[in-house]
Structure formats: C-alpha cells, structure tokens
Amino acid sequence: MKKLTTIPLRFILLGSCLALSVAADEKRPTFFFGGQQVRVGMSQQEAVVSLSHCCKLSPPVEPVEKQPAPGGVLAGHFILPKEESPQRILGAIYFSGGKVLRVTRPLAEEVDGYNDDVVGFVRAIKRSLAAEGDTEMTALLAIRHERISNAESDVVLLTLRDGRGIEIHIGTIDKPNEFMAKRDFVTLDETLEPATQK
C-alpha cells in the first residue's frame, strides 16, 4: 500500500516542479524606457513611479489620491525624456481601471516616417492585406533565416487565413551589387498559399 501512494506522490511532485519551471521561463513582454521596465497589467501607480526615474508623462498623470480612469475609459500619456528635448517622444502609455492597458514605442527611431519610400512601402503592405475601411483578421507570422549561394536573409512571412500574405526578405549579398554598389536589400512580395482551416 505504501508503494502505491509513493508513485502518485512522485508524479505530483515532478509535475509541480515542471509547472514551476515552465512558469518561470515564460516572461511577460516588457518595454524598457531609460532602464525602467513597463508591462501591461502592472498598476498605474507602479508604472508612474517607475517612469518618473527617467521620463515625464504628457499630460501629467493626476496625483495618486485622485481616482484613476475607470474601467472602459482609456487615459493616454506620451512618454518623454526627462532631460532631453520635449520634441522626442519615447512612446505612449495607456491606463484604464488603475492598470496599464497598452504601451507603445517607435519600431525604429532612425526611420524617417515622412520619407516617400517609407510611406509607399507601408501603404503597399496595408493595400495587400486589407480592403478599405476597418478590418480585423487573424494572421500567422513566421520568421526564418535563409542562406543561398550569394546572399543570406531573414524572411518575415505574414499569412492570412484565406491564403493571402506578404513575404519580406531582409538580406545582405556577399559582394556589392554592380549597379548600386550596395550589399543590403529588402524585397516585399505578395503571396498566395492554400487557405487554412477557420
């Protein structure tokens, strides 16, 4: 009888250890601003205190003793550097019901968002994926590395359930291109593949 209870007890202990190990490995997505971390779900007060070490919020957050924005109401604030020009926006943070609901930051600060090529590139992605008006859809994202005879690239593939998609190659050729004397390149292609089950 003792042997029979020992075996299930060992499985329970093993399962508990594995569950704790997996939980420890799953890190919640976090953004860092001036070395301070911010994540969705943290309290508004904790986020404001953390960001106060490096940044300022615009508009300023109401004092803690005042009521936070109730659930369903989204209060947004720009995150600005404390010591630098106020023209530089590090990101934005949104609170609802006393919690951080959303955080944003620039994807790439060195990209000129007013450049005609950048605007055209992003509009081409939007046209390929969605019709006019508001649209919401599910997509599968795959990222892989490829090596061919004269270049290597990272491939980002975004595929919709109906089989339409976009494939972006970000690569470097071994020798500079003879016409442009450049090695780095990006290609953007639309793709059609079999539709996935809905």
Per-residue pLDDT of the chain (198 residues; tens, 9 = 90+): 455 444 444 434 444 444 444 444 457 889 999 899 999 999 999 999 999 999 999 999 876 445 555 667 788 999 999 886 657 889 999 999 899 999 999 888 788 888 999 899 888 888 888 766 677 888 899 999 999 888 899 999 999 888 889 999 999 999 887 787 888 988 989 898 888 765
Q: Are strands 36-38 and 164-173 parallel, antiparallel or unpaired?
A: unpaired
Length of the chain: 198
Alpha-carbon torsion (173, 175, 178, 182), positive or negative: positive
Check residue 71 and give its pLDDT.
60
What pLDDT score does 121 carry? 87
pLDDT of residue 26: 57
Work out the angle at residue 53's Cα, subtended by the Cα atoms of residues 52 and 57, and round it to the nearest 5 degrees: 30
How confident is the model at residue 25, as a pLDDT? 43
